[in-house]
Chains A and B, each alone.
Chain A
Amino acid sequence: MEKLLLLGDEAIAQGALDAGISGIYAYPGTPSTEITEYVQRSKQARETSVRSAWSSNEKTAMEAAIGMSYAGKRAMVCMKHVGLNVAADAFMNSAVTGANGGLVFVSADDPSMHSSQNEQDSRFFGKFAMMPVLEPSNQQEAYDMAHYGFELSEKFETPVLMRITTRLAHSRADVTLRDKVTQNECKLPDDLKQFVLLPAIARKRYKLLLDNQNYFEEASDNSGFNKYIDADDKKIGIITTGIAYNYLMENFEDGKVPHPVLKITQYPLPKAMIEKMAAEVDEMYIFEEGAPIVEEMIRGFLNKGIKVRGRLDGLVPRDGELNPNLVAKAVGKEITKGNPIPDIVMPRPPKLCDGCPHIFSYNALNEALEEHGTGRVMSDIGCYTLGALEPFNAINSCVDMGASVTMAKGASDAGMHPVVGVIGDSTFTHSGMTGLLDCINDKTPVTIMILDNETTGMTGGQKSSALGRLEQICLGLGVEKEHLHVINPVKKEHDANVTIIKNELAYKGVSVIIPRRECLVTLTKSKRAAKKSK
């Protein structure tokens, strides 16, 4: 069989392609971005016409995929964990509608918050929606489970959530491929009202979802992905979820753990296996990459019966990623450690690139706001969030996609003036447009700066849905022409830019200023590509 060296993300993409998807839908977000990028680059995807362009946000992505599933074809949706919040409405209801063509959602969590605002665990969402959840422990399983996820989805006519974490998403290993499945033909659902969630139908569908839980659980017990590895020393039984299994195995020569181990990679929890362990061991240790969700379930509110240990009692830390050392300590293995980091080593936080257009936007904004004092700038999610750090100290919020516009509105409603919202072009079309419409309908005194670097920068330069459309969108929403400005964020325009911003700060209505200059990273990339093609 063919073998490839793949990131966890890429393994999922290849698995989905080999499972015969007809489309992949996504908005970029670390650590999920490389799944869709892989499909976009894939020759196999091109030859079989798999659609893969970026969506405006995770909700539009998921809804389009549900539509593709309705039409009988297999579709995948990819997002980072907080993207699942954006898509939550579609997500929750899709569990009730069920699927027609296979439907797999991938949510990539980021414990330890390497590149995120929180470390929420998507498995809660899976449980919330009562959907089967797959949590591969390595790259090969990521590939196999992408494949299997579509079978499971079509077998039980349900969407399936695949949950991964940063270390699997961005770690490379060899993956053996399976036979390719051809794409489904278009085929309507047997019941044309399946997707009509009118209360009377929704109640029926919901009962069906509840009835299906037994089948989902049976699948968890029998699919072979959850493994019970028995051993003699029953003082302790160990449950691992996802990649925590690897950290446990790392600590035992040739993977021979003296205690029974239950490796969980598929949910709902495999009840029979957990009952077996609980009946045989004195104590259970639970290692989860993420929140203590399995631990809480097994321990129960009253915490009676068998002793359960994990993140809740401090056996391993309550937050952050696990690693081999943390698990070693928990299972009483010797902890190795090299020399400490010398005191002279300084932190090296990320920063805006030299010459980045955002630098000039912030310099102008800071000067224009000088006379009003600090604390007046709501911002958003992207490279420009780095404007919160030295030397700019230019922004005062970063909460969720689009919140700059609406938080600025709220602060303005509270009586603050002037108040500024700073948002990127891609973030604006992701979730800023509706907030701007609220401002316009209320004639709220706010100055919105849409930093247009003509790309989705932070995630590596994916095409922005806003490209070439910002003025049209703003005017269409109702921004007054005389209060819509496009400026050039370069040093020599600094004074002119300060004047424009100052004038609009004084205006008691909605102003939009668009500093526009291409991201240097994508500019360099496209120049290099142009040179090559010559």
Chain B
Amino acid sequence: MKKDIILAGVGGQGILTIAATIGYAAVESNLYLKQAEVHGMSQRGGDVQSHFRLSDKPINSDLIPEGRADLIIAVEPMEALRYLPYLAPDGWVITNTTPFVNIPNYPNIEDVLSSIDSQPNKIALDADRIAKDLGTPKAANIVTLGAASKVLGMDMKSLEASLGTLFGKKGEKVVNANIAALRAGREFADKN
């Protein structure tokens, strides 16, 4: 088993929470993992990415080679496109469709979405909307992860358990809200 994942978004959108959720589940499953994060200047509203590698064998590089990623999981649609050079020919793009516009020259969102649509394997969902409808607007990242779980090769139970570990200190309500967000994302992926 090997999964190389690029997590992408804008500083503050919670890609490290996605990483931690997969991370806890991976450790429980006795998988090797390496996860390279971006700290520092870019976290101030810049583009951020995390290279996340899972394997049942020891992993060498902290960085994923270009053209080898199995998944791009993006919390922002333009950011999904930024990492296409990393994606393997049979890799998947899973992305939120709500744009995060904090630059004056953000492209036409229709062009962004049609570019995503032209990818051979993709799941595009309005994770912001789904999270809002659930009453947890901050959980768009977890909704996106839920959609990605379909191709991630990890069962929902272990991801739900790691949400419990991750948000346990904040109380049961927060844990359940995040589990609901995860399931809603997965449900979208299963239906579409």
Q: A170–B38 contact, CB under 8 A?
A: yes
Min Cβ gap A522→B in Å is 13
Distance, CA A219 to CA B59, complexed state (A): 28
Q: Which residue of A lies closest to B37 (CB)?
A: A170
Q: B32–A170 contact, CB under 8 A?
A: no
Min Cβ gap A265→B in Å is 15
Q: B32–A114 contact, CB under 8 A?
A: no
Distance, CA A168 to CA B163, complexed state (A): 26
**A456 on the interface (CB 8 Å rule)?**
no
Given A170-B36, A173-B33 in contact, is the A114-B65 Cβ separation under 8 Å? no
Contact-residue size bin, chain A (C-beta under 8 Å from the other chain)? 35 or more
- Residues on the A chain within 8 Å of B60, using CB: 246-247, 249-250, 255
One of B47, B63, B84, B87 near A167 (C-beta < 8 A): B63
A334-390 interface (Cβ within 8 A of B):
335-342, 344-353, 383, 386, 390
Stretch at the interface among A90-98, A224-232, A322-330, A423-431: A322-330
Given A171-B34, A348-B46 in contact, is the A340-B84 Cβ separation under 8 Å? yes
Q: B62–A386 contact, CB under 8 A?
A: no
Q: B35–A172 contact, CB under 8 A?
A: yes
Q: A459–B67 contact, CB under 8 A?
A: no
Q: B41–A114 contact, CB under 8 A?
A: yes
- Residues on the A chain within 8 Å of B121, using CB: none
B15-66 interface (Cβ within 8 A of A):
23, 27, 32-47, 51, 59-66
Given A324-B61, A345-B82 in contact, is the A458-B40 Cβ separation under 8 Å? yes
- Residues on the A chain within 8 Å of B51, using CB: 171
- Residues on the A chain within 8 Å of B10, using CB: 348
- Residues on the B chain within 8 Å of A348, using CB: 10, 45-47, 78-79, 102-103
One of A255, A324, A351, A383 near B65 (C-beta < 8 A): A324
**B192 on the interface (CB 8 Å rule)?**
no
- Residues on the B chain within 8 Å of A383, using CB: 44
Given A250-B65, A353-B44 in contact, is the A341-B112 Cβ separation under 8 Å? no
- Residues on the B chain within 8 Å of A101, using CB: none
Contact with B along A236-258 (1 / 0, CB 8 A): 00000001001101100001000
Q: A345–B78 contact, CB under 8 A?
A: yes
**A5 on the interface (CB 8 Å rule)?**
yes
Given A250-B60, A255-B60 in contact, is the A345-B37 Cβ separation under 8 Å? no
**A280 on the interface (CB 8 Å rule)?**
no
- Residues on the B chain within 8 Å of A249, using CB: 60-61
Q: B39–A344 contact, CB under 8 A?
A: no
Min Cβ gap A229→B in Å is 14
- Residues on the A chain within 8 Å of B63, using CB: 167, 247, 323-324
- Residues on the A chain within 8 Å of B62, using CB: 167-168, 171, 173, 243, 246
Given A323-B63, A348-B10 in contact, is the A386-B44 Cβ separation under 8 Å? yes
One of A171, A338, A350 near B11 (C-beta < 8 A): A350
**A115 on the interface (CB 8 Å rule)?**
yes
Q: A171–B106 contact, CB under 8 A?
A: no
Distance, CA A337 to CA B67, complexed state (A): 4
A399-423 interface (Cβ within 8 A of B):
none
- Residues on the A chain within 8 Å of B78, using CB: 344-346, 348
A1-38 interface (Cβ within 8 A of B):
5, 7, 30-31, 33-34
Q: Which residue of B lies closest to A3 (CB)?
A: B27
- Residues on the B chain within 8 Å of A390, using CB: 104
Q: Which residue of B lies closest to A385 (CB)?
A: B41
Distance, CA A246 to CA B23, complexed state (A): 21
**A319 on the interface (CB 8 Å rule)?**
no
Contact with B along A146-164 (1 / 0, CB 8 A): 0000000000000000000
Given A341-B82, A348-B47, A386-B44 in contact, is the A336-B33 Cβ separation under 8 Å? no
- Residues on the A chain within 8 Å of B115, using CB: 342, 344
Distance, CA A405 to CA B32, complexed state (A): 49
Q: B40–A114 contact, CB under 8 A?
A: yes
Distance, CA A246 to CA B34, complexed state (A): 12
Q: B11–A167 contact, CB under 8 A?
A: no
Given A344-B107, A458-B40 in contact, is the A338-B88 Cβ separation under 8 Å? yes
- Residues on the B chain within 8 Å of A438, using CB: none
Q: A172–B107 contact, CB under 8 A?
A: no
Min Cβ gap B3→A in Å is 15
Q: Which residue of A lies closest to B47 (CB)?
A: A348
Distance, CA A351 to CA B37, complexed state (A): 19
Q: B103–A344 contact, CB under 8 A?
A: no
- Residues on the B chain within 8 Å of A171, using CB: 34-37, 51, 62
Q: A351–B44 contact, CB under 8 A?
A: yes
**B68 on the interface (CB 8 Å rule)?**
yes
- Residues on the A chain within 8 Å of B33, using CB: 5, 172-174
4 nearest A-B residue pairs (beta carbon)? A336-B67, A115-B40, A30-B40, A350-B46
Q: A167-B36, A170-B36 are known contacts; what are 9 more A-B pairs with Cβ within 8 Å?
A: A115-B41, A115-B42, A167-B63, A172-B33, A243-B62, A337-B67, A337-B85, A341-B85, A350-B45
Chain A interfacial positions (CB closer than 8 Å to B):
5, 7, 30-31, 33-34, 114-115, 167-168, 170-174, 243, 246-247, 249-250, 255, 323-325, 328, 335-342, 344-353, 383, 386, 390, 458-460
19 contacts between A and B (CB under 8 A): A114-B40, A172-B36, A172-B37, A323-B63, A324-B64, A335-B67, A336-B65, A336-B88, A338-B67, A339-B85, A342-B81, A348-B102, A350-B43, A350-B44, A351-B45, A352-B44, A458-B40, A459-B40, A460-B39
